C-alpha cells in the first residue's frame, strides 16, 4: 500500500511517516517508480509509534521501545522501567504546573480586572511587590 493508505491505517500524517523514515524508525519497500510501499508489519510499527507517541514517549524512547518490541526475548522488567520513569516524569511536570497555577491564581485574585491602570500582576512581574 502507498503512504496515503498507511497514513489512514496508522493515524499518522504522511509528513510524520516520512520523517520517521528519515530518522530510521521504519524502512518501507519501494515500488518500481520509487513510491513507498507499506505492508501490514510496517503499519503495525507505525501504529506502535502513534500509540507510544500519544502516550508521551519521546522519539528516542519510542526507538528504544521499538527495539524491545522487535526483541521477542526482552524482559518485561525492561519495559516496565521505561513506563515508570515516564510516570515519574509526568508527576514532576504536573507538580510544576500546579505550582505555577497557584502563583498565577494568587496574582489574578488580587487584580481588580477593571479599566483602571492599577494592576498587581504587572507590579509583581516588575518586581514592585513583596514576596
Partner DNA sequence: CTTGACCTTCCTGTTGCATGAAGGCTTAGT
Partner DNA sequence: ACTAAGCCTTCATGCAACAGGAAGGTCAAG
Contacts of 79 (CB under 8 A, 6+ apart): 65, 68
User: Does 18 participate in binding DNA (rule CB under 7 A)?
Assistant: yes
> 126 is written with which cell numbers?
516588575
DSSP three-state, residue 62: helix
Count of residues that interact with DNA, criterion CB under 7 A: 21
Q: How far apart are CA 23 and CA 39, in angstroms?
A: 19
Segment interacting with its own copies (CB under 8 A) among 14-22, 31-39, 106-114: 106-114
Least Cβ distance, residue 61 to DNA (angstroms): 8
Which helix (H) or strand (E) element contains residue 45? helix 40-54
Chosen from its own copies, DNA, none, partner binding at 2 (C-beta under 5 to 8 Å by type): DNA
Chosen from its own copies, DNA, none, partner binding at 63 (C-beta under 5 to 8 Å by type): none
Name the packing angle between helices 59-70 and 76-110 (round to 10°): 160
Chosen from DNA, its own copies, none, partner binding at 106 (C-beta under 5 to 8 Å by type): none
User: Does 15 participate in binding DNA (rule CB under 7 A)?
Assistant: yes
- Residues in contact with DNA by CB under 7 A are 2-5, 13-16, 18-20, 31-36, 53, 58-60
Amino acid at each position: 500500500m502507498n503512504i496515503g493508505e498507511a497514513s489512514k491505517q496508522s493515524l499518522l500524517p504522511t509528513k510524520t511517516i516520512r520523517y520517521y523514515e528519515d530518522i530510521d524508525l521504519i524502512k518501507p519497500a519501494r515500488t518500481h517508480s520509487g513510491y513507498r510501499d507499506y505492508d501490514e508489519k510496517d503499519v503495525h510499527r507505525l501504529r506502535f509509534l502513534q500509540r507510544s507517541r500519544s502516550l508521551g514517549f519521546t522519539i528516542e524512547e519510542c526507538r528504544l521501545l521499538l527495539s524491545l518490541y522487535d526483541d521477542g526475548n526482552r524482559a518485561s522488567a525492561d519495559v516496565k522501567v521505561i513506563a515508570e520513569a515516564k510516570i515519574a516524569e509526568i508527576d514532576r511536570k504536573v507538580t510544576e504546573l500546579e505550582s505555577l497555577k497557584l502563583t498565577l491564581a494568587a496574582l489574578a485574585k488580587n487584580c481588580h480586572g477593571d479599566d483602571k491602570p492599577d494592576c498587581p500582576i504587572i507590579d509583581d512581574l516588575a518586581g514592585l511587590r513583596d514576596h
